[in-house]
């Protein structure tokens, strides 16, 4: 796809879940697990994923960890493995988290992303469906299923999911950019332009938003404005390649 649309991983949600679990189990026989979770949350906040992984592994290896903390330990450690590109280890932890809590929508989101990265499209599709089933008010779930549809060449279904995601999280530049790309693929550059402009208004240094707006301007015949935005996007993120034409 042009425009470098992307899914949104749930690592930040894992950190939030850590903090919630600590508050629920701060006293009693499982105090050590709560302390380890607090350490993991603190390490993640500081960007110390190695330290967070060690603390989470202590929880996982302990026979005393309560299920509410254990499930989020697997999810959080899996998200760290995922971010580092170790998909097999991530999938193993996601599987264990789901076995402990089969209705945990955010784990399905991340496992779907990992499965798709491994080339398991059927498994990814099933996980994204489970995510929206178990988390019907999650913008994350709808965005990631929309991204899947977009990557598989179905911008109509993608747009429907991005619409639902934006109803839940209307100020997300990432979701606006994703819907903008879906609209470009549907030959709706005017609608795409509105989405990319909204993303820029919310996030003025968003390289993908400028890239998408440049593509929309180009599709509308405004070549100079398109070229300026594409140059701006590469200035903000030199990794962005020169785009090809938007495809249906």
Q: What is the pLDDT of residues 25-54, one digit of tens each?
A: 445 547 888 888 888 889 988 989 999 999
What is the average per-residue pLDDT within 58-87? 91
What's the mean per-residue pLDDT of the chain? 87
The pLDDT value recorded for residue 40 is: 87
User: 3-state class of 244 per DSSP?
Assistant: coil
The Cα 214–Cα 229 span in angstroms is 5
The pLDDT value recorded for residue 68 is: 87
Per-residue pLDDT of 152-177, as tens digits, reads 999 999 999 999 999 999 999 999 99
* Alpha-carbon distances of 196 from 33, 69, 81, 143, rounded to whole Å: 44, 40, 32, 16
Q: Write the DSSP string, 185-203.
A: HTT-HHHHHHHHHHHHHH-
User: What is the value of pTM for the model shown?
Assistant: 0.84
What is the average per-residue pLDDT within 113-118? 96
- For residues 199 and 176, is the Cβ–Cβ distance under 8 A? yes
What is the average per-residue pLDDT within 129-150? 96
pLDDT at 225 over 50: yes
The pLDDT value recorded for residue 29 is: 43
The Cα 226–Cα 243 span in angstroms is 11
The Cα 92–Cα 80 span in angstroms is 12
The pLDDT value recorded for residue 64 is: 82
pLDDT at 12 over 80: no
The pLDDT value recorded for residue 8 is: 54
pLDDT at 11 over 50: no
* Percentage of residues of the chain with pLDDT beyond 90: 73
Q: 105 burial class (0-12, 13-18, 19+ CB within 10 angstroms)? A: buried
């Amino acid at each position: 796809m042009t425009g470098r649309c992307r899914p949104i991983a749930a690592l930040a949600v894992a950190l939030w879940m850590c903090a919630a679990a600590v508050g629920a189990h701060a006293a009693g026989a499982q105090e050590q697990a709560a302390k380890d979770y607090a350490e993991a949350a603190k390490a993640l906040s500081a960007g110390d994923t190695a330290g967070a992984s060690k603390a989470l592994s202590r929880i996982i290896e302990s026979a005393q960890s309560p299920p509410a903390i254990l499930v989020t330990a697997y999810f959080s450690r899996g998200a760290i493995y995922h971010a580092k590109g170790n998909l097999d280890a991530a999938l193993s932890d996601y599987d264990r988290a789901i076995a402990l809590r089969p209705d945990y929508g955010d784990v399905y989101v991340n496992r779907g992303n990992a499965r798709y990265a491994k080339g398991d499209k059927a498994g990814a599709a099933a996980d994204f469906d489970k995510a929206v089933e178990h988390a019907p008010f999650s913008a994350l779930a709808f965005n990631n299923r929309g991204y899947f549809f977009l990557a598989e060449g179905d911008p109509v279904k993608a747009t429907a999911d991005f619409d639902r995601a934006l109803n839940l999280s209307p100020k997300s530049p990432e979701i606006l950019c994703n819907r903008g790309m879906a609209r470009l693929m549907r030959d709706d550059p005017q609608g795409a332009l509105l989405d990319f402009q909204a993303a820029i208004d919310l996030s003025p240094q968003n390289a993908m938003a400028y890239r998408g707006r440049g593509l929309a301007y180009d599709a509308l015949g405004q070549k100079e404005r398109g070229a300026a935005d594409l140059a701006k996007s590469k200035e903000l993120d030199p990794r962005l390649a020169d785009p090809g034409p938007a495809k249906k």
